[in-house]
Amino acid sequence: MESCWVSCLTVPGEHWEAAGFPVTRSPGKSFAHRSELRHAKRIVVKLGSAVVTRGDECGLALGRLASIVEQVAMLQNQGREMLIVTSGAVAFGKQRLRHEILLSQSVRQALHSGQNQLKEMSVPVLEARACAAAGQSGLMALYEAMFTQYSTCTAQILVTNLDFHDEQKRRNLSSTLLELLRMNIVPIINTNDAVVPPPVPNSDLQGVNVISIKDNDSLAARLAVEMKADLLIALSDVQGLYDSPPGTDDAKLIDIFYPGDQQSITFGSKSRVGIGGMEAKVKAALWALQGGTSVVIANGTDPKVTGHVITDIVDGKKVGTFFSEVKPAGPTVEQQAEMARQGGRTLASLLPEQRAEIICHLADLLTEKKDDILAANKKDMDLAERRLSQPLLKRLSLSSAKLNSLAIGLRQISSSSRDSVGRVLRRTRVANNLELEQITVPIGVLLVIFESRPDCLPQVSALAIASGNALLLKGGKEAANTNHILHQLTQEALSIHGVRDAVQLVSTREEVEDLCRLDKMIDLIIPRGSSQLVRDIQRAAKGIPVLGHSEGICHVYIDVDASIDKAINIIRDSKCDYPAACNAMETLLVHRDLLRTPLFDQIIDMLRVEKVKIHAGPKFASYLTFSPSEVKSLRTEYGDLECCMEVVDGMQEAVDHIHKYGSAHTDVIVTENEETAEQFLQQLDSACVFWNASSRFSDGYRFGLGAEVGISTARIHARGPVGLEGLLTTKWVLRGDGQTVADFSEQGSMKYLHENIPIAQKLFSSPSYSASS
């Protein structure tokens, strides 16, 4: 497998020019960020020999080729202009020639030896140009047959280096390609390997703005620049460029490579097939980049990604190495995650009083810098006013009252944090002089992704600090100004004990899906936002647990024995206090016997006064001559002044309805019958179950947790409002005196005691508590 890694040795600016790649730029301008690749109109896809050929180098990888053709055809049918530069003619020809030679040998042997067993046959070394001549027509026929399945037409073009040095031939080539693209035909281009001479290293013309066509890498780069392509995708059998030799423990894939860094590149072994190698790919990529074409080098042989590697690149996803001439001012998200982990380990080793002091200082800053925070928030509100719905604008808005409430919540967290990390939960005497302890430790690095709610940033930061966790924050762009100042204040508070880097705000153009792939850097993802955001993150998170809930479909059941006043107040508060909250009532269940009673009439009147739109459930609609609009789904989170109303025959049917249509978030019963209430509380399997209380109490601050990172409907680790305790896990510490397992065997001298030791609460002292340390 070919490989390439980048070392940090600076080299003279003439490095690439000396290799035949001129430093001067063409008028074209490449894309600066991956996210812009989705705007690419004209795309060149270069398929390396390792991608097109089988592992035995004899014949084509048909399944892999079919998936690539499908992606190219799909992009072509979207209105893009696709060109393919392909290898494979030599391998395809080698397969055909070997077959012919073996067939010929077997016939000759059969004629000479009669019925005797055939002797072992050997195949002579086949000359590459002859293989190319035999394979070009078959390769093209294969491409044509595959693209025909997608109603896409193809055309073959064979070129040599001379075609680019002759001005007239170059103009003819460009004219032909442009005409094919105009007719919605996919040109399939290859070097004419049947006639080209063997490649000569470093044979590029010195001082001339050209690149020699020595292989399909240089051909693809030359064509991309010549055709003013927006993007060149070079597929091979490598993931991309690495920061140290691939295969070593510390090797990391380089997401974005900047030629402006003037870094030298050390190349590993060449590809198992083909003549290009990684050095040719990087040189060709840099040449194309200077010519105004964006470049991505990626793996086209990995069966896990081959089926979508091209479309993922065009969608702007983190695949392979992206070549860019624009370097961002700040660190990459991978660097931020590493900085956060290191800072988090130091944070976890602080004394509890020091972590509490950081949180108190942050609470003070929220009050002292109130005017600056509100000014930044006003900028966000002004920009978002025309783009966001009213519920989202409410979430985005900050006020003096909100900031004061935040500061109070942070001080609560500060008080409760003093005995959180390092608390001994269990102590066992395993044997004499062998004692085991289970202690609380941080989870590690948390990734919190939140929409439209800047007040989430200091809340989550305080909980992370209290629990000794490192934190990566990704906020919505609609709150960029507010998030920026709140993060600055958080880092200012952290700085008093030298742990500024423990909380990082991701400000790069990072896609949420890409963040969810950092499974080696992130230990837990906590989404805070719409149900769609949570579902997207749950789908995208491969190998990283996600804490949260995708929907907040909360129910209030009004029992036949309900108090009128309590019912009216609880319904009003649950629905109208903050309709956009995840703990707001979305479905109102009413006992059948309450229909056409004063209580029912008062409920309807109150909802009408509060301007709540009612959607009738199927059973409720059947009782009415003229009903409100019938509900489209009984499993709907409205997030606004709307709710579903349905009729049930009793408490048991209410429980069954909630289990079927609810989201196991928060559900309420309103009744004066204690037996009915207790049955409801015991039978209902939701994270929060209330009796005669508003669903809006389902909140970390109201539970006395100080704040929450979210509400979890999961079955393990943490459930309901997740505060400080939910951000801790445990580890086991065993203190011995030289014991071995052999000491406890039948022939050994020791016996297990397994005695519980009373816990005299003291905090465990350790340089680092992180479960992922």
The 10s digit of each residue's pLDDT in 123-167 is 566 777 788 788 788 888 899 999 999 999 999 998 887 788 888
Other CB atoms within a 10 A radius of the CB of residue 259 amount to 19
Selected residue with higher pLDDT from 116 and 545? 545
Q: pLDDT tens across 506-528, in order?
A: 977 667 888 888 888 999 999 98
Selected residue with higher pLDDT from 251 and 66? 66
DSSP three-state, residue 607: helix
Mean pLDDT value across residues 315-333: 85
Selected residue with higher pLDDT from 218 and 56? 218
pLDDT band at 197 (very low <50, low <70, confident <90, very high): low
pLDDT band at 26 (very low <50, low <70, confident <90, very high): very low
Mean pLDDT value across residues 593-617: 95
Q: Sign of the C-alpha dihedral, residues 362, 368, 372, 375?
A: positive
User: For residue 467, which of 338, 341, 347, 336 has the smallest C-alpha distance?
Assistant: 347
Is the pLDDT at 600 greater than 90, yes or no? yes
Mean pLDDT value across residues 656-673: 96
pLDDT value of residue 241? 85
pLDDT band at 109 (very low <50, low <70, confident <90, very high): low
CA–CA separation, 439 and 732 (whole Å)? 6
Mean pLDDT value across residues 393-404: 91
Long-range contacts of 182-186 (CB under 8 A, 24+ apart): 183/153, 184/76, 184/153, 185/153, 185/154, 185/155, 186/72, 186/73, 186/76, 186/82, 186/83, 186/84, 186/147, 186/152, 186/153, 186/154, 186/155
Mean pLDDT value across residues 281-299: 91
CA–CA separation, 17 and 23 (whole Å)? 6
pLDDT value of residue 517? 83
Mean pLDDT value across residues 340-364: 95
Range of lowest pLDDT (207-211, 379-383, 448-452): 207-211
Helix (H) or strand (E) holding 326: none
Tokens representing 319 are: 């695949």
Residues of the chain above pLDDT 70, percent: 85
Mean pLDDT value across residues 255-260: 83
pLDDT band at 650 (very low <50, low <70, confident <90, very high): very high
pLDDT value of residue 761? 54
Mean pLDDT value across residues 756-762: 78
452 and 478 in contact (C-beta within 8 Å)? yes
Is the pLDDT at 208 greater than 70, yes or no? no
Is the pLDDT at 14 greater than 60, yes or no? no
CA–CA separation, 82 and 755 (whole Å)? 72
Range of lowest pLDDT (43-47, 84-88, 360-364, 573-577): 84-88
Mean pLDDT value across residues 730-756: 93
